[in-house]
Structure 1
Amino acid sequence: MSAAQVVREFFEKVRSGKELEAVHGVMAECVLAHQVQSEKEVTVERSPADYAAHVREMMQIYGEFTLTVEQFLVQDDQVYVRWKQVGNHLGEIDGVVPTGKPIVEIASAVYRVEAGKIVEYWIQIDREGIRAQLEQNAKL
């Protein structure tokens, strides 16, 4: 499978929450996840099971969410994806109690694929945008 096919399957089945068991077919046993948290770069190791648990947690927080890939670019073994996730605030986020109101997450990542599996990714999420939505929803 090409890098594009692996990442497309990852989004369609795993990241969307539709077929979490497919995670083992698209992610290596140890994936380096480079993240930006409070303007600090952090790298964590994720296993397929960890990632599936992460998506389950998102489903508890956002409920049934839609995931729309807005940009998909491929260069050799790397795939850039920008997406929009829309759900409802059903679980606690950063200490903010659920409001049930719509919430949108905009994010992007570059995935590196090796031997047909994701082995590394660099992700950025508009956390400030989420915070502003939570603040606005709490006022309504």
Structure 2
Amino acid sequence: MSIITTAERNKETLRRFHDAVSTGDEEIISRTIDEVVQPDVKIRTPLPIETTGTSAMKEVLAVLRRAFPDLHVEVEDVIAEGDKVVTRNTVTGTHRGEYMGVPPTGKSITYKEILIARFVDGRVAETWAVVDVMSQMRQLGVFAGPNA
């Protein structure tokens, strides 16, 4: 009989969150956020929105889904230490809607992100994310570069 540690449970919870995002189903995403994220989650990544907590998380994901309806998060690595879980992800999608002022291009993009989540009582209480926005913009043709 194996014992599931808190770290393993937290890792599985964060994978569940990423899997929900990849469904593209707004209801599944919203329900999963409500189940696995604290309502007053602290999002430590600067965002151009006024909302906070799970509402901010849902708003950010809605913007991404409108821009990239086939958004998919592939979790490459999951590392847990103490009350934190880190995922290194590859994100793909096709640019079908406005994104950060860029009209739809129809281009497929692939970019990397790292998400750190701090857990309290089995739910995400705080997040930090590093997203390769420069790569996104290059692939969408906003900046010159190897992926433009």
Shorter-chain TM-score above 0.5? yes
Alignment equivalent of 2:133, drawn from 112, 115, 127: 127
Count residues in correspondence: 133
Q: Which moved more, 1:48-57 or 1:89-98?
A: 48-57
Partner of 2:73: 67
**Alpha-carbon contact 2:43-2:53 (below 8 Å) kept:** no
Which letter maps to 1:3? N
Mark the runs of 5 or more structure 1 residues left unpaired by the alignment: none
Partner of 2:38: 28
**Alpha-carbon contact 1:36-1:123 (below 8 Å) kept:** no
Q: Could you say if the C-alpha distance between residues 55 and 136 of structure 1 is closer, same or farther in structure 2, counting changes exceeding 3 Å?
A: closer
Give me the TM-score of the superposition, normalised by structure 1: 0.82
Partner of 2:87: 81
Q: CA deviation at 1:36?
A: 5.4
**Which of the two has greater strand per residue?**
1
SS class of match (1:9): helix
SS class of match (2:45): strand
Q: CA deviation at 1:90?
A: 1.0
Task: Determine what percentage of the aligned residue pairs are the same residue.
Answer: 23
Q: CA RMSD in A?
A: 2.6
Distance in 2 (CA, whole Å) between partners of 1:68 and 1:11 is 8
Q: CA deviation at 1:47?
A: 2.4
Which letter maps to 2:17? F
Partner of 1:112: 118
Q: Could you say if the C-alpha distance between residues 129 and 65 of structure 1 is closer, same or farther in structure 2, counting changes exceeding 3 Å?
A: same
**Alpha-carbon contact 1:30-1:45 (below 8 Å) kept:** no
